Chain A
Amino acid sequence: MSAEQKARTGKRNTNRLIRNGYRALSRLTLALARTRLVDPFLSGKTILPRRAISLVSMLPPAAEKIRLQLSLATARVKFERGGATLSVKFFSLFGRQINEASLKQSHDLFADTIDAVTAQNVYFNVPNGARWISVKVERSGSSRRIGIHGSLRPKAIESDNLGSLEEALASRDRLLLEAHLAAGNTAKNRTVARRVLERLIYLEKTDAEETLHRMIADLDSVFMRVPKRVASDETQTVFDYTHPLVGEYSASVPLSKWLALESRALRSVATQASVHLSGSDYAGVQLLACLYAQLPFTLKDCERHRLASFHPWVFDSDFNEILAFNP
């Protein structure tokens, strides 16, 4: 596209935003906004200027986490991922910048199509000692025409109302989605967790969430595919399986991989033996290893109650069918 065509398209998009109630900032408002003490978006729906807009304000008292709510619009026919970027800096009471590398300090915002604009909640963790915040919003590309509505003043988080799962899954609200993820764990429901994680990955694609999603999907696969019953042949030897053979299971490893290794090691030392499971915090994984290795096993009653303890996303109910088949 030539520069002339680009300019024409840009103008057409700006006009479309104006027809839908978005206004360019006046020179006076823009000048006031440059002081970083005036929120220029308070006056209503605004077209985001080419240069970034910043606002310095006090943080809500004692807030550990803050929320900013903005809605963005694009004149294009499809929504734009990363239409604008919101970033924050925190300062102490006396203006010293507080950097905490572990805290996320910027978010890409979606710009919705004009007829489907929704408010987006963006959350930031507040570092210790912070009293002031500088919030900056800028277009991600200079050619983009983005309408904006909302405020750059942060709010404390008040409500802990979860709402429905379906609402959360349709939203872009990380806090809401994280709450549903935690609820999925409490309710021992990996299906909910996977749906929430899929949404979070779609929105932001963080490594930690992709890894957790992969781990949980792997657990589902293990419990779906593991042979539920082992033929109990007459065996003369007993193998006392007191602890995992290849090392203690770490929840940072997909269970299926660990089981592939452990079951091989088990098969090599307990060929044609009956395995006696006892005394381990890893009874659950050891039991699964027996099933993978197709070795008959016996299990103490006391172990039955802690089979799921080796992984936060494994639940007692996962073993119901296995225990029913292997009394």
Chain B
Amino acid sequence: MTPRRVSDPAITDAKRSFDEACVDAKLSLFAKGVDLEDAHLLAYYPPVHRNPFQHMLYSAAFEQGFACFPVRADLAEVGAPPVKAPLGVHYHWVHRVFTGAQTSRDAARQSQAFIDLVDEQKAAGLKIVWTVHNLLSHSAKYVDEEIELRANLADRADFVHIMNPATVELCGRYYELNASKTFMVPHPSYFGVYGDYIGAEQARFDLGLTPEDKTLLLFGALGPHKGARQFISELDAMEKALNVRLRVLIAGQPSDADYMEDIYALAASKPNVSLYERHIDDQTVQTLFRATDAVICPYEIGLNSGVAATAATFGRPCVVPDILVPAMAGIGAGIIGFNPSDRSSLTVAVGRALEAAENPDTEKSLTHWAEMHRPRAISRSFFEALRVRW
């Protein structure tokens, strides 16, 4: 018998209309003790399921008088709410607007249609909130159109949430962000998000690592923007420079078939590289991070990194591009920057990360940062900042 169709992989009411979600939001806030007049509604788009970021960011919403709900089907249905309430739309990874575009003309048309919708939402009295996750999307295909899209959204947004204090300056290379609209709330750690009950020894044993292996982890979606290809090709030189035999774990969901062919070809000649090319479920994340000495984010560019925050959560030092370091303020020696245009600096950073891993204070300071940045606390800061500006 054919299994019954499931409309939405998330465990939420996928069939609920936007209107009904608004009514549910007000009823839920009322039940929480929020005055009906003071109940704020925040619809977010696009909803993502495997990345827990949105659940983390919104985890304290109710305490702060906000109810957040995903826009599932059609962004066009988001307009004036059916019940009187302050309503905002919170945009995240807006490059999704280009989904299905075959040409740059398609991309420009889809971008304009999206901006028209944003204009309609503003005209209906909705507040527009935007979280700038990146300067440009990792796999930007329509770069000019994406810059235009971001410039238009920046222009229309009422509030811009940034997670890296250098965001305004860095984005300025491509599009202008009005600093007076921005508010800085850092990326949350993953404290309490992933399973975390396995010890490092067990994790290393499970992965066939000896206690002496110096192990590095490259984690997250496997695409050209993540730098794994170049990292593997530089591995021999890095081992020679550091005079150490490295074990490298590369784990994540492949996002580009051609790119993966390169990875397979490079990894085939490197028995010290283990490839886990799949989605890593929430209970397995701990095995990889606990087994690791240091986590490497060999990206060319990036404003924020969930991987670096995960590494901190598991007490593991992390190597990131220089521009990402300010986003992890207060983390101490556990975050090590490198200059992406100077590849030798990556080798130096890896050496420093391995040294940091041997210092017991590193894990303490990282986990302390993770506790201070636990999702609930960051969520509270986010909504406090939003409420003040609303």
Contact = CB atoms under 8 A, between A and B. Distances in A.
Contact of A253 (B1, B2, B5, B23): B23
B84 interface: yes
Contacts of B26: 246, 261
Interface in B7-35: 7, 14-15, 17, 19-20, 23-24, 26-27, 30
A318 to B, nearest CB: 21
Nearest to B2: A82
Chain A's interface: helix, strand, loop or mixed, by majority? mixed
Interface centre among B1, B4, B30, B82 (most CB of A within 10 A): B82
Interface in A223-265: 245-250, 252-254, 257-258, 260-261, 264-265
A207 interface: yes
Contacts of A249: 82
Interface string A257-290: 1101100110010000000000000000000000
A247 B81 CA distance: 8
Contacts, number: 56
B19 A246 contact: no
B23 A261 contact: yes
Contacts of A250: 19, 82
A125 interface: no
Contacts of B27: 257, 260-261
Q: How large is the interface on A (under 10, 10 to 19, 20 to 34, 35 or more residues)?
A: 20 to 34
Contact of A108 (B2, B15, B81, B83): B2
Question: Is chain B's interface secondary structure helix, strand, loop, or mixed overall?
Answer: loop
B83 A261 contact: yes
Nearest to A207: B15
Contacts of A214: 15
A257 B1 CA distance: 36
Contact of A81 (B2, B7, B20): B2
Contacts of A245: 84
Given A257-B20, A257-B24, A261-B23, A248 B82 contact: yes
Contact of A205 (B1, B5, B17, B81): B5
A247 B83 contact: yes
Interface of A: 80-82, 108, 140, 205, 207, 210-211, 214, 245-250, 252-254, 257-258, 260-261, 264-265, 268
30 contacts: A81-B2, A205-B4, A205-B5, A207-B7, A207-B14, A207-B15, A211-B15, A211-B17, A214-B15, A245-B84, A246-B26, A246-B83, A247-B81, A247-B83, A252-B17, A252-B19, A252-B20, A252-B82, A253-B19, A253-B20, A254-B20, A257-B20, A257-B24, A257-B27, A258-B23, A258-B83, A261-B23, A261-B27, A261-B83, A264-B36
